[in-house]
Amino acid sequence: MEYRIEHDSMGEVKVPADKLWGAQTQRSHENFEIGVGIETMPAEIIHAFGILKKAAAMANNELKKDKMTDEKLDAISKACDEIIEGKLNDNFPLVVWQTGSGTQSNMNANEVIANRGNEIAGKKLLHPNDDVNQSQSSNDTFPTAMHIAAILMLEDKLIPAAETLIETFKKLEKENEGIVKSGRTHLQDATPITFSQEISGWRSSLERDVELIKLSMKPLYELALGGTAVGTGLNAPKAFGETVAKKVSDLTGKPFVTAINKFHALTSKDELVFAHGAIKALAADMLKIANDVRWLASGPRDGLGEIFIPENEPGSSIMPGKVNPTQCEAVTMVAVQVMGNDVAVGIAASQGNFELNVFMPVCIYNFLQSARLLSEAILSFNKNCAVGIKANKEKMHHNLHNSLMLVTALNPYIGYENAAKTAKKAFKDNISLKEACVELGFLTEEKFDEVFHPEQMV
């Protein structure tokens, strides 16, 4: 491998000749061999750095043109556009498990933009610190990248995924109107419900989760950029925070604003904790829905068997013909991962000491993993399972009329205690509710038939 010599304030460093990063990136790459090639800084953060570095250059060009000339802005902007487009991703090798401020990832961006910008300009025009990092600090750029990445992930990926499944459930509701089945509470038989009502519960849960996620996004639109090292804005021009937030908003089409209190923005991660809580709520509902689906589809002969789901792949290496609810299992595993990530995000957010939180990479790594996995799991579940759900009407009808809890309809006519006696006798003697009620003398056959209509109990 060929190398070139780069230098920083600590001296010279050998860097692979075909890479755009510089000395500080190389030092971090060598000093933190933890999860190399596997747990690298998320691509969403790199994308966000491209946006914020371009926005910062635009703001500097507007506020102090003598320092950020049009020529420098042009070179930085073009390099940032390539980062935003993902063209330079192989120049960001650093792992999550680095400095807790994300300083080396900020410098990774600075160095790549400076070196690529110089290539574009055809001369030594840009310095990573003096130009690309102008009016900034790692302490305000990394939390800014976190918020940008979080908003883009939630608004452009997770919410649309949930809304896709919501639309599928709406369609299933219409298709299954009027089909009455047994309800279940405590995993025991309960009073009747229509299948469309059951599906509406799933749909409404997801709609509420989307509402909660949207509510949690409002604080994430606030950006720390402009606080620099400790929140005072040292070395940044007046109105830099407001100006750069407007530029980020223009570049993304999202309503980003500058954080009201930069001291809070640098040290507290409560906005991410709150938003991840909403993600966890969605994961909890998805786990519930996936479990409902696999319970209802259990069988094919010895389970509930009230619905059919798509058969996607063989389910056993030893039992021929076995097919398993694999999409449901994938969703539940992702939900478990999200719940574990929620603990990590919360603990990371608690580690703000004085003017800075130094658990930021692990915080955003888990946040983005949760949103990414959950959105992809929802889309997979929708495509490979939910759209193919079919009611087993015969089994639903059988289970409904075999349920002892239909006796609840008799409460107004024979009272709670007599209804309980009827249900227990029917279960003990393995006879119908009608037979039990008549044998106990509570109702005549004619009166029973007059008042007992399971399909009207919904």
Catalytic residues: 186, 316
At 354, give phi and psi (nearest 5°): 55, -115
Inter-helix orientation angle 70-84/43-63, to 10° = 160
Helix residue ranges, H only, 387-444: 393-401, 411-414, 416-429, 433-439
Q: Are 226 and 238 in contact (CB under 8 A)?
A: no
Closest CA to 361 of 98, 149, 107: 98
At 68, give phi and psi (nearest 5°): -115, 90
Cα–Cα distance for residue pair 233/225, rounded to 1 Å: 9
Q: Are 323 and 315 in contact (CB under 8 A)?
A: yes
Tokens representing 161?
Answer: 């995924």
Cα–Cα distances (Å) from 421 to 45, 162, 445, in that order, read: 64, 46, 17
Q: Is 282 exposed, middle or buried (0-12, 13-18, 19+ CB in 10 A)?
A: buried
Total Cβ atoms within 10 A of residue 148: 28
Evaluate the CA torsion angle 181, 182, 185, 191 in order and state its sign: positive
Tokens representing 62?
Answer: 């507007």
Looking at 197-309, which runs of residues are DSSP E strands? Answer: 222-223, 257-258, 307-308
Q: Is 366 exposed, middle or buried (0-12, 13-18, 19+ CB in 10 A)?
A: buried
Span between the terminal Cα atoms of the chain, in Å = 73
Q: Are 255 and 327 in contact (CB under 8 A)?
A: no
What letter represents residue 333's amino acid? M
